[in-house]
Amino acid sequence: MNNELLNILNSTVANATPLVIAAIGETLNERAGVVNLSLDGSLALAAMTGFVVGVTTGSAGLGFLAAAIVGALVALLIVVADIQLKQDQIAVGFVLTLLLADIAQFLGQEYAGMPSNPLSPVRIPGVADIPIIGPIFFNHSVIVYFSYVLIIVTWLMMFHSRPGLAQRAVGERPATAFARGTRVNRQRLFYTVLGGLLIGIAGASYSLAIKPGWSNPPAMRGDGWIALAIVIFGGWHPFRVALGAYLFALLRALSSAIQRSPDIQIPLVLLNMLPWLLMIGTLILVSSGVIDRLLRVMPRPAQRWSRNFLRSDPPAALGTRFDPD
């Protein structure tokens, strides 16, 4: 395998990381029945906060911490507005999308273009020397390794633990969850805030690790929407969500490689349109029922293993409110 390809794949994994973390965070709260639509704004505000704190204190760790707190507070606002104040999650989330991006831009204006040091890559001894796999997956900054662990832990929690049963039940049928002793609204609060925390970390991973720096308007605008679409594409399953994020980043990497290459003449505008066309195309694919049909024709043992992975129905109680009285 030649070096250029390895480089492309390596940067794909890096560039996918904020999307992976943000989309897994969103998966956590949507599985519990809450939509956090504010991603595009949350990511911007968290990225700005992370960068400013990171630069002024000189500690990337503090930057990530501050960003995580911002993400969690935003999520808390959405879930309190939903549960306590009975306001539409979509409406509040949308307003926050715009508001937070503007706050980020306003407060970050003096930090735009300021230089900073990116997190340095850490080679994991042993696995980093495996040909192909090593250079692609194990020569990255800490945040990338965090995302690997996150994917696996989320999957284990969601499908192989009792807390995961409660989480999914809350998103599917809150009345049942209540009858089984799960405190529905407390679970929703917990997973939404946890999801927000991750979204905050995802935001900071742009400005502190993947694309270090801050610019006005923020460079990651639009990625929040992509992450939300990836959650749908991923069928609310951590593996499939991560796969979606990697595919998306791969496509971006390929298109910028094609742009640089003198041999291939594809109109630039078409390449730029590709991610969005892909987003709409995959949503059509998911809602067309092709995957459900695939699931039905598979042999039973295979169905058993892949049912959760291939399912594409949203959590049945997504976006609804539960009143225990």
Partner 1 sequence: MRSHRLISATFIVLPVVVAVLFTSLLVMLVGNEPGEVFQTVWMGAFRNSNALAAVVNFWRPLVMVSMGLVITFTAGLWNIGVEGQMMMGAVFASWAARSLALPHPIQISAEIAAAALGGALWAGLAGVLKTRLGVNEIFGGVGLNALANLLAIYLISGPWQPPEGGSAHSTTPFPANSLLQPASTEFPVSMVALGLAFASIIGVTLALRGTRWGLQLKATGKSSASARLMGVPTTRSVISAMMVCGMLAGLAGSYRVLFTYESLRPLVSGGIGFLGLLVVLLAGIRALWTPFIAFAFAAIMAGSTRLRVSLQLDASLAGVLQGALVLLVLLSNGLRGRVVEWSDRRAAKQAASVSETASPGARHE
Partner 2 sequence: MEITLRHIDKRFGKVHANADISVTFSEGKIYGVLGENGAGKSTLMKILAGFQPADQGEIVVDGKPREARLHFGPTESIRSGIGMLQQDPLDIASFTVIEDFVYGSGARLTMGLREARKALKIQCQRFGFDLDQESPVSHLTIGQRQQLEIVRLLALGVRVLILDEPTTGISAEQKETLFSTLGLLAHQEGMTILLVSHKLEDVVALCDRVVVLRAGQVVGEREMPATTSELVKMMFAEELPPQSRQAVTLGKKRVALEDVALRGRRVSLEGLHLSLSSGEVVGLAGLDGSGQDLVLRAAAGVIRTARGRVTVDGRDMTGKSYRQFRQAGVAFAAAGRLEEGLIAGLTLTEHVALGMPGALVKWRAAEADTSERLQRFNVRGRPESQVQQLSGGNQQRFLMAIMPANLALLAVEQPTRGLDVDSARWVWTQILARRASGTAVLFSSPDLDEIIQYSDRVIVFFAGRFIELADLSGVSIDDLGHLIGGQFEQANHA
Among candidates 201, 210, 221, 211, which has minimal Cα distance to 113? Answer: 211
Q: Least distance in Å: CB of 92 to partner 1?
A: 6
**Dihedral Cα 93, 96, 98, 104, nearest 10 deg:** -140
Q: Does 85 bind partner 1 (CB under 8 A)?
A: yes
Among candidates 190, 245, 254, 191, which has minimal Cα distance to 223? Answer: 245
Tokens of 14: 């890096």
Q: Does 281 bind partner 2 (CB under 8 A)?
A: no
Residues 6+ apart with CB under 8 A from 11: 253
**Contacting partner 2 (CB under 8 A), which of 56, 59, 84, 176?**
176
x/- letters, 257..286, toward partner 1 (CB under 8 A): ----------x-x--xx--xx-xx--xx--
Q: What is the DSSP string of 61-121?
A: HHHHHHHHHHHHHHHHHHHHHHHTT---HHHHHHHHHHHHHHHHHHHTGGGTT---PPPPP
How far is Cα 114 from Cα 215, in angstroms, rounded to an integer? Answer: 9
Give Cα 48 to chain centroid, integer Å.
Answer: 17
**Contacting partner 2 (CB under 8 A), which of 211, 221, 311, 321?**
311
Q: Least distance in Å: CB of 252 to partner 1?
A: 13
Q: Least distance in Å: CB of 200 to partner 2?
A: 26
216 binds, among partner 1, partner 2, none (CB under 5 to 8 A by kind): partner 1
**Contact set with partner 2 (CB under 8 A):** 160-163, 165-166, 168-169, 172-173, 175-176, 178-182, 304, 307, 311, 313, 316, 325
**Contact set with partner 1 (CB under 8 A):** 37, 81, 84-88, 90-92, 94-96, 98-99, 101-103, 105-107, 109-110, 216, 222, 225, 228-229, 232, 267, 269, 272-273, 276-277, 279-280, 283-284, 287-288
